[in-house]
Amino acid sequence: MPPRKGRALTAVLVTLVVLVLGVGGAGLWWATRDSGDSGGTPAAGAPSPGADPSEGAPGEPTPDPEQGTPAPESSTDARLVKEGQCVKNEGDASGKPKLAITQCGPKTYQVLRRFDGATDGENDAKTKCAQVEGYTEWYFFNSELDVLDFVLCLKSQ
């Protein structure tokens, strides 16, 4: 007995939904994954991992009246940091930095300048930050997708 037309149509629709959700999910994963290629630094004098108990919770939207800088937003992901905000190094003892947006204060770095777009790493970051008055450290994020790359020129607080 041949399959019914309704069952065949249902199977086709289910297959299409699964394909659309699978491709969309894979695209979202690709766009938001951390490639592990971020090299950068705050090298010398980078703060040790771990939070300073005197600081507020990361991502807490509390303005810093003394600094007059924008408060961190709800995400602490350094890929979303803006000029004027501060980051701290939450990297582990291996020396690979992992920056997170935080309130400005001791043991943080204020973002003086952000360069979005393709970067080839350390030399590029040094060259770009050499143009920024007052910077003390630099950080770069280099991914397989150049549109996600950026360089941060930082000032130790």
Can you give the pLDDT at residue 57? Answer: 42
Which residue in 88, 131, 130 sits closest to 109, CA to CA? 88
Tell me the pTM: 0.55
Q: What is the full DSSP assignment across 113-140?
A: EEEES---SHHHHHHHHTTSTT--EEEE
Residue pair 115/131 in contact by the 8 Å Cβ criterion: no
User: Which mean pLDDT values do the consecutive 10-residue runs of the chain (157 residues) have?
Assistant: 58 56 49 46 42 41 51 74 95 87 95 96 95 95 93 96
Q: Residue 138 burial (CB < 10 Å; 0-12/13-18/19+)?
A: buried
